[in-house]
Chains A and B, each alone.
Chain A
């Protein structure tokens, strides 16, 4: 193993990590806002990837251009899911937590089933996108362009999210709802509206990630499952509910995954992530940046 291989691995790990962070951001945002774990998060990613795929196939829109539209479509989708499903799950008279788990889990199964029915279980891919398959060399390190762009999009999205939450009125309303959803009505804020926008934002973030992923990953109805699992680990690492913890968690997961692949056979590359995850759960159960 040479220094060059190590740098190469860590660089691609970092890029993937930023993308993992972007995938996990929406999960963390929604959990932080209302203590609901969205078990259909991976299916949101799947829908985003298919949306990108169909925009490409039917309208010849390159995934890079499609990304903002996919994010916008997912924004609407997320808000509608809140209004039609989650809102009612939260009204349960007893055992609300359990009802929410089953509601989002059921949603995941429904979405996967519908995708298999309408989109068929075939593996699809976008082979001729502008960036797909390209690599560039920076100081002897070869980096795949789609992942590089994905990392840039992730950085931009987290920066925008930071300013949105810290500097705008609606961001302040989000923070207040996160603190005490029962109290925002005292200042005339409709918590259901904040929740709906929160779901929309969370879905839009995973929508961005999906559009990027569609450039270099197969698209099929179960594609969300493996990435959702990584997203849960990312969110737990960063601290449940902390959006910026998800950012750090994503980078850690990406780097650990790349390092594991260096020392263990490729089929065991996920071992590292879960080992680190278990370590964090044992030593610091609230996650690295969690404040629960």
Chain B
């Protein structure tokens, strides 16, 4: 970073000076295009069954209680990860911590907005591209739209959300994202064949 830029940074408000893990990356071909997702706020939410209704009201989204399902509305997604665990994503970057806190019900909310980053996969070969590293059955019958799961992609853990017939959102931890993007790129390039 230049001296000039550094002096500009000094003492200034850096709240918009984000360095995104996958900045500038693009990949895939016609079969499956890869795009780093825009920043979003994220919550790792934990609660017992009796708190689900209250938390849903506080978050304005119905927390799913069936395995492998998610709910979405107005850019906010709630993904079932485990029997007492959800990943809540808000693409409008709304304050999810505050929303959860307003529930006044027993739960655990941890801000993981920066822990995770996401890659969007879109194209007729999206399913095959994701199957380049993910062992789950991703055909529509087994993994329909809005299905989600924490799973494995090659040697990294991901959270997979199907957003359309031909589109997935892949969430992974920040430092794994270059690996996930790289493996997805290779798999996407082979997906059309």
A complexed with B: no
